[in-house]
Amino acid sequence: MGDKRAKRLAITLAVAIILAAGVVLFGPWGPYKDLIFSHENVPKEHRDTGNEKVVQHGTEAGKITAGRRIEKRSDTSPPSVAIIVDDVGNVESKLAEWKKIDAPLSFSVLPYPPLSYTLADRLYQAGYLVMMHIPTENQPPNSFAGEGHLSTNMNKQDVFVTLDGDLSKVPNVSGINNHQGGRGCDDLQLMTFECEWAKQHGFYVVDSRSSANSMVSYAAVQLGMGEKRNQVFIDHQNDPEFIRSAMCELADIAREDGYAIGICHWHRPNTAKIVGEMVKELKAKGINFAFARDINN
């Protein structure tokens, strides 16, 4: 009887010694820790990336992801102005000039021009937001607004398929507005389909007001998305004084109502330079700047 107990005790002790040795050799502090506990074998959520952090900016989070992207500060404190830059995709020469502007600009990118994907990615990495500029049926005789456009004869499925195709051409999209589209934007059913698609994707919708009878805002509000509408075409004329005056008009609207949204254009000769100058001037006069994503008007 005593011999059996001794054998069992010896076996138990041997097993315990083997297990302890295994822990020492193959545990996180053992000689094989680098082989077994390398980053490749550690779940992503538990890895220490060292330089990955998030910094808060005003009412929105400005993100530094792995030391690369810093989102522009979006200040929604009234009076606050949001600026959208339309028609991005065909010209690269304006990129450097726009990137000099230290403000939360939203760049609306057409889906099919040859430089759209590259420009959208570079603007996003520079800290701006990217919107998709959806070609939409215009008034005759210039009805066609561009490849991937929405037309008034489309049903809901056609709209969704077309917009999914457009979206595949523009990275990092956060919101949408319409390119041209006088006829399409007046069609409540078409704009409701568009807004339903946007809501499904978590995108905000800006009414460019390309038509006096635009149904974009109405459709968005009916779906509980909030109203974001263009109030001033900043560079309707290319004259620098016109652009300065339009920027001042936006500032006045923001002072009166709290918020204002304006639209200008990527490729026009004086726009980037004058908008950049006016952003500095208006900031000095107490005007804040926000992403269109962050305000309603």
Chain segment 118-157, per-residue pLDDT in tens: 999 999 999 999 999 999 999 888 888 889 999 999 999 9
Which token pair is 23? 């822990």
Q: Per the confidence metrics, is the pTM higher than 0.75?
A: yes
Q: What phi, psi does 32 have (nearest 5°)?
A: -105, 15
pLDDT of residue 18: 53
Predicted pLDDT at 21: 52
Based on DSSP, count helices (H) and strands (E) in the chain, helices before strands. 10, 11
Is 9 in the same domain as 133?
no
Q: Mean of the pLDDT values across residues 90-94?
A: 96
The chain-wide mean pLDDT, for the chain, equals 84
Residues 102 and 182 in one domain: yes
pLDDT at 250 over 80: yes
pLDDT over 70 (residue 4): no
At residue 34, does pLDDT exceed 80?
no
Q: How many domains does the chain divide into?
A: 2
Model pLDDT, residue 14: 54
Residues 123 and 252 in one domain: yes
**Strands of 60-65's sheet in order across:** 53-57, 60-65, 69-70
The verdict on 154 and 127 lying in the same domain is yes
Amino acid at 266: W
- Tell whether the model's pLDDT for residue 93 goes beyond 80: yes
Q: What is the CATH number of the domain that holds 206?
A: 3.20.20.370
Q: How confident is the model at residue 5 (pLDDT cuts 50, 70, 90)?
A: low
Strand spans (E) along 164-243: 173-180, 204-205, 232-233
Q: Tell how far CA 123 is from the center of its chain.
A: 10
116 and 36 inside one domain: no
Q: Do 169 and 204 lie in a common domain? A: yes
Check whether residue 19 and residue 121 sit in a common domain: no
DSSP letter, residue 214: -
pLDDT of residue 45: 31
Q: Which has more confidence, 69 or 49?
A: 69
Comparing 95 with 20, the larger pLDDT belongs to: 95
Q: Which residue type sits at 214?
A: S
34 and 58 within one domain: no
Same domain for 229 and 107: yes
Examine the domain organization and report whether 29 and 64 are in the same domain. no
> Same domain, yes or no, for 113 and 6?
no
Q: In the predicted model, what is the mean pLDDT of residues 213-236?
A: 97
pLDDT for the residue 142? 83
pLDDT score, position 146: 84
Find the domain containing 124 and state its range: 53-294
